[in-house]
Structure formats: structure tokens, C-alpha cells
Amino acid sequence: MTVAPASKNVEKNISPAAAQKPRRKRAETSNFSIRMGQLALAVGVLGSWELLCRIGVIDPFFFPLPSDILDTVWVWISTGFVFPHLWVTLQEAILAFITGAAAGLILGFLLARVRLLERLFDPFLQMFNALPRVVLAPIFLLWFGLGIWSKVAFGFTLVFFIVFFNTLEGVKSVDRVLVDNAKMLGASEKQLLRHVFIPSALTWIFSSLHISVGFAITGAVVGEYLGASAGVGYAIAQAQGVFDTEGVFAGMFILMFVVLIIDLGVNRVERHLLRWRPPQQAS
Amino acid sequence: MTHPAQTEYAVELNGCTKEFVTPGGGSYFAVRDIDLKVEPGRFVSIVGPTGSGKSTILNMAAGLLNPSSGTVHSFGQPVDGVNRRASYMFQQDALLPWKSVIDNVSLGLTMAGVSKAEAYDESRRWLEKVGLKNFADRYPHQLSGGMRKRTAVAQAWIVNPDILLMDEPFSALDVQTRQIMENELLELWQESNKAVVFITHDLDEAIALSDEVIILGAGPGSTVVGSYDIDIPRPRDLLDIRDDPKFVDLHREIWGRLKVEVSRTYESAREEEESDAA
């Protein structure tokens, strides 16, 4: 950046890259003003919430003061109260995600490649998918108890179907020409999977990973809420039991940030694995 | 079939018919009773109006499609599954977009079990040949259309096939790039002893490149309506060949035949439109 002013005059006439420079700069400034606008929006909403509570327009019993919520978040974090709960929730979510995604991927690839299996399984998968998954939570509680496994099972049913249907669609929508080309170059079925189907399906799978990571955590929290002895959902349920709305909101905020951080990680992995895509599509 | 092959043809289609089932439950014939014989080392073009089933013939020779009736042989062997002696250049982009240029080019070798280092060495030689030495690490979307075709040429030739099947490989390119690519193709082919089956709708291109031009009739259910030997001496200079008196004569003769099929296709398309409108 420091050399830019010196070379500016020279570049202007020759390099097409020079023509792009001002445009990028404009994009950066507009990006910056968007960020400022977002900040202003957040401050505005939270500020007016705080103000309306303090002058008594909003009942702080139902909508506690944002400052009190932050305070509770801080207490939960500084005393270490929330960490064992968070750890349990994350364990459940991670296990549900890994098992659900793995099963979804394997079955998705299998059914996409073996037409017979797809026709055989299709109605049953549709039936299970049509079932609102929340009604499974009570039966899983009975089957697997109050520990983490009932939540893992619940999260599994949420993650599995998303990953499965996206993988199935991703593999089936592979460009026919790419498959034919690889075949003509001598690809075996295994090599087709590795060089053509898996990379091509990755785009679809990743769009489902974003949602399924969220669903894994939803599964864990909802499961905990319905019956558990630990976890963030349990902590929220406990707070609700004693009409501690600050605690409920604090739990919500903590979950929100944890999911955001995990999503950033998924984004980074996605960007690396899909680096071959033209940039306008990737963004 | 009781006639053992006297000559081993690189590609031999005997009475091949291909019938497709339409989504509505009906069926139609893409091509009917196709006989095609391509000797090793010969450059044969197939020309026909749109919808005459040119690609269907190529796909049967490649083993990507099975004929509904008739037989396909390659060097005396019946083609069952993909034709291992052939490479295919597709009309569309068929490079794997998630692989860099060099990984695309070396794919045929690595899948055959060649070590990565060896495959890369060979790929670099080919990239140099097609003028893409400095683009080995690019992804296909970062290349121009002509560069992608060059990569596809390298990808198809590196496995050293005995047969090259080309489905309008240069039709997406602009005229100048196309002539350059045609010249380069001829140079590569002259050094080799490969049979080429080249599909095009451009009669100029077909005559300029080939030893033999085959004309397909109007579809559906088209069949071979004419076959012409192109005895313009080689090596040919493609940039001047269109002024060659032999070229002009051949073009007039073949176009006279092709014209009939083209206008027939056009008329049946118009009739269909009219019956749709009615």
C-alpha cells in the first residue's frame, strides 16, 4: 500500500489492474460504511430497548434491561457457571453432527449411485422426513435417558435428513459431461466418486452444513429443555422455572455467539475446499 | 455376424440403430442402420444437419451408449462399456472445474496408476506442446475458452489413445482461434498414427481436415447418405486451403448433397412449428 502513490501515474496507462484499483477502494469504503450502519443499528435498538425499560414503557420482567442481561452473561462467564453446561451442549451437538452428517453422506452417496436402493428407500425416507422431529424428543428421553445420548439421537434425526437430501441432490445433479469425460479417461467407479462426484457434491453438502450445524445445536438445546441434568438448554429451563428472564436471555445470547463462531469456522473450511470456484459464485 | 474382419478397423459400426424412449412413453429413432468404418490413422469427419444424431454415433463408438441393435467393434474387439482405446473431446467444457490445469491433464495417467511425479512430468511436456506451460496451476475458470480447449486436447492426447473422438470440439470458439486450433490439431495428428472421428456441422472444417467426409441425412432416424474421399494432398495449409481448386470442387459436390438434407430438416422443423401453432 505504501508504494501505491509512487507507481500510480505509471500504472494508470498500462495495466488493467490499475483500472480495478479505484473500484476496489470504493467497495472498501462502502463496506466500511455498511459496518458503521450495522453498528449504529445495533446500538440504536439496544439503546432504545434499555431506555424504554428504564422509563417504564416495557416491563423489564418480560424484557429485562440489556445491561442486566450483559451483566448476567458476564456473571455466568466469570463465575464459570456456564462452561460445564456449554461443554455438555457442545458435546451433544458435535456428536449429533458427526453421526448425522456421516450417515447422511454415506446413505446419500449410496442411494444416488444405486438406483434400486433409492427407489426402495424413498417412501420411508419421505415419511420420516415428514414427521415433525420434535415429537421424537420425548420418546428418545424414554429410550436413552436424561443423559447426553437422548439429545444426540434427537440432533441426529435433524442433521441426518438435511445432509442426506442435499448429498443425494448434489450427486444426482453432477454434470453428465464431466462423468463421461472421466469415464473416457479410464475412471473406475471408485475414481469417479473421488474425482467427480464428491467434489461436485461438496457445494451442495456445504450449503447444508451451515444449516445442519445450527440444527445440531438446536437439537441439543431443545432436548435439554425437555429433560436433562446439564446443558445450556437445561440452564435456560432452570432460569425460566424461577422467572429469571435475565437468565433466559443470557443463555440465548451465549448460544447465539457460540453458533456464530462455529459458523465462521465452517465458512473457512468451505472457502478452502471450494477455492476452485469462480469468485463471484463463491461469495 | 459371420464375416470376420479382414482389416482391423479402429472403429467399426455395423447396422447400428439407436432408439430413445421419450418421457411421454413413446420412442424415437435417433439414428438408423449406421455403417461406419474408420481405418487406423485416418481422419474421418461426420457432417449432418442439426438433430441428425451425430453425437449419438460418436457416443456409440465411445461405448457411452449402447446401440439398440447392431454391433460396435474397435480393433476387432466388441465394444462393451467404455472404449478403452479411445479418447473423447466434448463439445462442452468437460474439464473438472475443481482441478488445476495440470491435475486435469494428468488425470488419465494418475487414474491408470502412473506415479504423480511421472504424470506431472508428462503433463508439463504436453502443456508446453499446447502452449500452456505457464498456466499449470490455474483453475479452468481462470482460462479463456481457447485455453480450456487446449487443456482438453492435452488431457485427451496424454493417454496416447489409438482413436480420438471429437464432438464439435471447437464450435464454441471464435473463428480465428478456431483456425489456429484446427492447424494445431492437424500438426499433432500428422505426427501420430491415430484414427480421428470428427463431428462438425461446418462443411469447410470437415473438408479441410479430413481424409473422408461422411454425410448424415435429416433426423430423426437419420442414416449415412453419402461418403466422400478428400484427396487434397497433405500437409495442408488450412489458412489457404479454401482457395484450392480441389477444395472448391469437393465443397460444391458435397454441399449439393448436404443442402438437400439441411433444407429437409428445416422444412420438417417448420411444419412442426405450424402444427404446434394450429
pLDDT tens per residue, range B92-137: 889 999 999 999 999 999 999 999 999 999 999 999 988 899 999 9
Is B94 close to A181, i.e. CB distance below 8 A? yes
Contacts for B16 with CB less than 8 Å, ≥ 6 apart: B31, B33, B34, B35, B36, B57, B60, B67, B69, B70, B71, B72
pLDDT given for residue A19 in this prediction: 43
B55 contacts in chain A (CB < 8 Å): none
Q: Is B42 left (phi over 0), alpha (psi -120 to 50) or beta?
A: beta
Any domain includes A268:
yes
Third-level CATH fold of B11-85+161-277? Rossmann fold (3.40.50)
- Count of domains observed in chain A: 2
pLDDT score for A24: 54
- Same domain for A140 and A257? yes
Select the residue of B87, B111, B141 nearest A191 (Cβ to Cβ): B111
A76 and A104: one domain?
Answer: yes
Per-residue cell: A37: 450502519
Q: Give the pLDDT band of residue B6 (cuts 50, 70, 90).
A: low
**Closest CA–CA distance from residue B219 to any residue of chain A (Å):** 23
Q: What ranges do the domains of chain B cover?
A: 11-85+161-277, 94-160
CATH of the domain at A208: 1.10.3720.10
Do A37 and A120 fall into the same domain? no
Residues of chain A with pLDDT under 50: 1-21, 281-283
Residues A220 and A152 grouped into a single domain: yes
* CA of B37 vs chain A CAs: smallest distance (Å): 21
Cross-chain residue pair A177–B92, CB shorter than 8 Å: yes
Closest-CA residue in chain B for A183? B82
Contact A186 B98 (CB under 8 A): no
pLDDT the model gives residue A275? 80
Nearest CA in chain B to A203: B98
**Helix ranges (DSSP H) in chain B:** 54-62, 101-111, 116-129, 145-157, 175-191, 203-209, 245-277
Residues A84, A38 share a domain: no
Is A184's CB within 8 Å of B62's CB?
yes
CA end-to-end span of chain A: 25
Do A34 and A78 sit in the same domain of this protein? no
For residues B150 and B130, the answer to whether their CB atoms sit within 8 Å is yes
Set of chain A residues whose Cβ sits within 8 Å of the Cβ of B99: 195, 276
B14 φ/ψ sector (left φ>0, alpha ψ -120 to 50, else beta)? beta
Same domain, A138 and A263: yes
Can you count the helices (H) and strands (E) in chain A?
Answer: 13, 0
Half-sphere exposure of A190 (CA within 13 A, CB side): 2
Task: Give percent of chain B above pLDDT 70.
Answer: 97
User: According to the model, what pLDDT value does residue B238 have?
Assistant: 84
Q: What angle do CA A134, A135, A141 make, to 5 degrees?
A: 90
* Residue A16 contacts B where some CB pair is shorter than 8 Å: no
Nearest residue of A to residue B63, measured between CA atoms: A184
Residue B89 has pLDDT above 60, yes or no: yes
Contact assignment for A185 to B111 by CB distance below 8 Å: yes
Chain A residue numbers touching B88 (CB-CB < 8 A): 180-181, 184
| Residues B239, A108: Cα–Cα separation, whole Å | 53
Q: Which residue has the cell 459431461?
A: A177
pLDDT in the model for residue A16: 42
Instruction: Report d(CA A272, CA A280) in Å as an integer.
Output: 15
A108 belongs to a structural domain:
yes
In a domain, A60, yes or no: no
- The reply to whether A6 touches chain B by the CB within 8 Å rule is no
C-alpha cell at A190: 471408485
Paired with B31 in beta bridges are B18, B222
Our CA-based measurement puts residue A206 at a distance from the nearest CA of chain B, in whole angstroms, of 15
Residue contact B98–A184, C-beta within 8 A: no
Both A79 and A50 in one domain: the answer is no
Q: Does A181 touch chain B (CB under 8 A)?
A: yes
Q: How far does B180 lie from chain A, in Å, by closest CA?
A: 24
Contact between chains at B93 and A187 (C-beta distance less than 8 A): no
Q: Are residues A141 and A73 in the same domain?
A: yes
Q: Chain A contacts of B158, Cβ < 8 Å?
A: none
> Domain span at residue A27?
4-54
- Tell me: do A165 and A119 sit in the same domain: yes
What pTM, to 2 d.p., does this model score? Answer: 0.75
Over the stretch B37-51, which tens digit does the pLDDT of each residue have?
999 999 999 998 888
